[in-house]
Structure 1
Amino acid sequence: MTQPVPMTELWRGTILESLHLGHAVICDDSGLIVHAWGDPDVTIYPRSSCKMVQALPLLTSGAADKYGLNSEHLALACASHDGAAIHTDRVRAWLSQLDLDEDAFRCGPQEPANIPARDGLIRAGVSPCQIHNNCSGKHTGFLTLCSHMGAGPEYVEVNHPVQQAGLAAFEDTTGQSSPGFGIDGCSAPNFATTVHGLARAMAYFASAADRSDRQSAAAARLTQAMMQHPDLVAGEGRACTELMRAMGGHAAIKTGAEGVYVAIIPEKRLGVALKIADGTTRAAECAIAAILTGLGVLEADHPATRKFMNAPVLSRRGLLAGEIKPTTELMQAFTSA
C-alpha cells in the first residue's frame, strides 16, 4: 500500500516543528483520477464531509418539495454548524414545520462552538440541547425524510429506511460498495469508502448540472445551496464559510472530523477529497486551500486563504512565531503542470 505523503508543515523559527502526512485525490467527471497524493485506495470514514450525499434522498424522495424546503434548509442539511443563532433559529423553525421538537432528535446535545451563543447559554444558566449539535441540520433532514416515509422514530439505526436510502446514494455516487460503517459523533452511521471513492462522489456533484436525472438534479441543488449560504454550512471564522465566500460561488467545500476535507468544483467538473493521516484539522484546512489555489479557484493571497494556508503562527502577545504551509510535494502537481 502506498504510504501517506507530507502535505502540511508547521515551521517555528528555522525549525520544522510539525509535519502532517495524508492522502488526496482530484477526480474528474468520468471517475478517473486527475492527480493523487499518497494512496487513493486507502479506506476512510468521510465523517461530516459527505453530508451532501446523505442529503440526496431528502430531495430524490420528494420530501424536500413536499415540506417546502428552500436553499437555506438544504444548506443546513449539509452543515456542520457552530450553533450560532442563525443556525439554531432555523433548525427550530424547520422542526416546527414538521410538528416536532428537539426530543425527536437522536444526535445528542453539544456545546455551541460559537462563542457568543455558548456564553449566552452560560449567562442564562441553560444547558446546550440537541439543536445546538453541529449536525442538527442534517438530522432535521433525516426527520423530514422519515416523516415523508412514515418510518419509525429511530432513524439513526443502520437498517432504518432513512439510512438505507443514504447508503444507496453513497454507494451510487462513490461508485463503490461500502465495506462497512462506524458510528459518527452525532450517532448516525458513517459509511466507509476510499479517498478515490469520496472524490468520485464530489465529482458526481460537480458535474450534476450536465445530467437530467432526478438524483443529479438533487446534487446540483445541494451544491448551489452550499455555495449560496456558506454562513449556514459552518460559521463565522470557519474555513468552510470563509473559503467558500472567498471563492464567490466557484466551489463548495466541506470539512469532516479527523482531518477529512472535500471540494466540489462545478466549473471544472472536478471533485477533491483528502484525509490527513493524524486527523489534524489545521493540516486539512491548509491542504484543501492549497489544492483549491493550485486549481485556480481560490486566490492564494486572499485574506481568507492566508488564515489557513501560508498562515502566520502567533504568540499569545501577537508576535510572529512561525508559519503553517503546504509542502513542496503537495504543490508540485500544480507547479509542474
Structure 2
Amino acid sequence: MNRPEPLAEIWRGPLLESVHAGHAVICDAKGEVVRAWGDPQAVIYPRSSAKMIQALPLLTSGAADKFGLTDEQLALACASHTGAAIHTDRALAWLNQLELTDDDLRCGLQMPSDKTASRDLICADSSPCQIHNNCSGKHCGFLTLNAHMQAGPDYEKIDHPVQQACLAAFEEVTDQTSPGYGIDGCSAPNFATTMHGLARAMAFFASARDGGSRMATAAQRLTAAMMAHPELVAGEGRACTGLMRAMDGKVAVKMGAEGVFIAIVPELQLGVAVKIADGANRGAECAIAAILVGLGVLDASHPAAQEFMTPVLRSWRGIEAGAMRPASGLLTRTG
C-alpha cells in the first residue's frame, strides 16, 4: 500500500511503542480532495463502510417504498450490528414481512458480539442463526430488492441482478470504474475503489438533498436513517453508535473491517474516508475521531471522543499504563 502516513500512536510511559499508519481523505461536494494524509490513490476494499452504497438500489429501484420500509429498517440495512435483541428482533420481523425465513439469508452464522445475546445463546445451549450475523440487515435489504426484481435466490453471487445493481451504484457515486472485488465476510462481493473514490462517495451522501435526483434522494434518506438510529447501525459500546450520539445526529459514521472508517458530514457537505494499513480498528477509530474534531463537528472533550480518540491504556489492576493519541497533524483544524 503506497505511502501510508502515521495516523495514530500508542504511548507506554515515555516511549512511543506502536504506530498505526494509513491513508485519510476529505472530499467536498464537487468530489475534490480538501485534505489528505497518505495516498488518495491507494486502492482499498471499503468493506462494511460501504453498506449505505450497497443499500442505494434498495431505494432507487422502488423496492423500499413498495414494501413500506421504515427508517429503522433503512438504518439496519446500513448496519454492522452486534446481534443484540434490538437488531435480531427487527431482522426477524423484516424476514417475516417478506414471507421468508432465516434460511433465505446468505450471510452465514455468526456468534453475536453483544454480551447479553451471546450469554443467552450459551446458557440455552443454542447456536446462532444468520440473523445474528452483523450483516443480516444488509442482507435483508438484498432480499427485499431481490423480491422486487423477482430474481433467483442466490442474491450474493457477483453475476446476480442484485449485486450488479450494487456495482452500478458503487461506480456512480465513487465516479470510478471498480478495478475488481473481493468476497466479504458475509459472502457478498465487496468492490474495490481508491481512497479518493470512497471519500467522494461519502461527499455525495453528505451533499445529497431530498427532492434531487433519485440517487440523491436515496442517499439523503439513508444518511438521515443512520443519524436517527445510531443504536441500530452498530450497538452499545461501539464507536459508530457512540460517535454519532456525541454529534447529536448531525453526522453519520460507519466502520468497515480491516481498519476502514467513513464519515458523512451534511452540514459541511464533506465526506471522509480512513484506512489503517495494518487493519487495526483502534487506529481507525482514533483517526476518524481526530478528523471529526478537526472539522469542528465533534467536541474533543466529549466522553465518546476521549474514549475512541485518546483512550487510556490500563493494566489488569487498573493502573494507567499509557495512552493512544492521534498522530501530529490530524487535529489541525480543517476548513
TM-score grouping bracket, smaller chain normalisation: over 0.9
Q: Secondary structure at the match of 1:308?
A: helix
Structure 2: how far apart are the matches of 1:49 and 1:310? 22
**Equivalent residues of 1:112, 1:133 under 8 A apart:** yes
**Equivalent residues of 1:6, 1:329 under 8 A apart:** no
Alignment of 1:253-332 (within 5 A): 253-332=253-332
* Deviation sequence 1:46-99 (CA, Å, 0-9, x none): 000000000000001110011110100000000000000000000000000000
Structure 2: how far apart are the matches of 1:329 and 1:201? 24
Letter matched to residue 237 of structure 1: G
* Deviation sequence 1:154-175 (CA, Å, 0-9, x none): 0000010000000000000000
* Deviation sequence 1:281-304 (CA, Å, 0-9, x none): 000000000000000010001011
Q: Does 1:165 find its partner at 2:159?
A: no
**TM-score (normalizing by structure 2):** 0.98
Distance 1:301 1:30, change over 3 A: same
In the TM superposition, what is the alpha-carbon distance from 1:310 to its structure 2 partner?
1.5
Structure 2: how far apart are the matches of 1:73 and 1:172? 24
In the TM superposition, what is the alpha-carbon distance from 1:250 to its structure 2 partner?
1.5
Letter matched to residue 53 of structure 2: V
In the TM superposition, what is the alpha-carbon distance from 1:311 to its structure 2 partner?
1.4
Letter matched to residue 191 of structure 2: F
Aligned to 1:72: 72
Aligned to 2:186: 186
Structure 2: how far apart are the matches of 1:191 and 1:93? 29
Letter matched to residue 301 of structure 2: D
Aligned to 2:115: 115
Structure 2: how far apart are the matches of 1:186 and 1:302? 34
In the TM superposition, what is the alpha-carbon distance from 1:308 to its structure 2 partner?
0.7
Letter matched to residue 167 of structure 2: L
In the TM superposition, what is the alpha-carbon distance from 1:2 to its structure 2 partner?
5.0
Aligned to 1:220: 220
**Equivalent residues of 1:261, 1:275 under 8 A apart:** yes
Q: Secondary structure at the match of 2:255?
A: strand
Identity among equivalent positions (%) equals: 67
**Equivalent residues of 2:293, 2:331 under 8 A apart:** no
In the TM superposition, what is the alpha-carbon distance from 1:331 to its structure 2 partner?
2.8
In the TM superposition, what is the alpha-carbon distance from 1:314 to its structure 2 partner?
1.2
Aligned to 2:177: 177
* Deviation sequence 1:171-211 (CA, Å, 0-9, x none): 00000000000000000000000000000000000000176
Q: Which runs of 4+ in 1 moved over 4 A?
A: none
In the TM superposition, what is the alpha-carbon distance from 1:329 to its structure 2 partner?
3.2
Structure 2: how far apart are the matches of 1:10 and 1:132? 33
**Equivalent residues of 1:11, 1:323 under 8 A apart:** yes
Letter matched to residue 63 of structure 1: A
* Deviation sequence 1:244-271 (CA, Å, 0-9, x none): 0000011000000000000000000000
Structure 2: how far apart are the matches of 1:40 and 1:210? 29
In the TM superposition, what is the alpha-carbon distance from 1:330 to its structure 2 partner?
2.4
Aligned to 1:81: 81
**Equivalent residues of 2:294, 2:330 under 8 A apart:** no
Letter matched to residue 56 of structure 2: L
**Equivalent residues of 1:155, 1:163 under 8 A apart:** yes
Count of aligned residue pairs for this structure pair: 335
**Equivalent residues of 2:210, 2:220 under 8 A apart:** no
**Equivalent residues of 2:183, 2:189 under 8 A apart:** yes
Q: Secondary structure at the match of 1:20?
A: strand
Alignment of 1:191-206 (within 5 A): 191-206=191-206
**Equivalent residues of 1:81, 1:233 under 8 A apart:** yes
Structure 2: how far apart are the matches of 1:221 and 1:300? 28
In the TM superposition, what is the alpha-carbon distance from 1:318 to its structure 2 partner?
1.3
Structure 1: how far apart are the matches of 2:250 and 2:214? 23
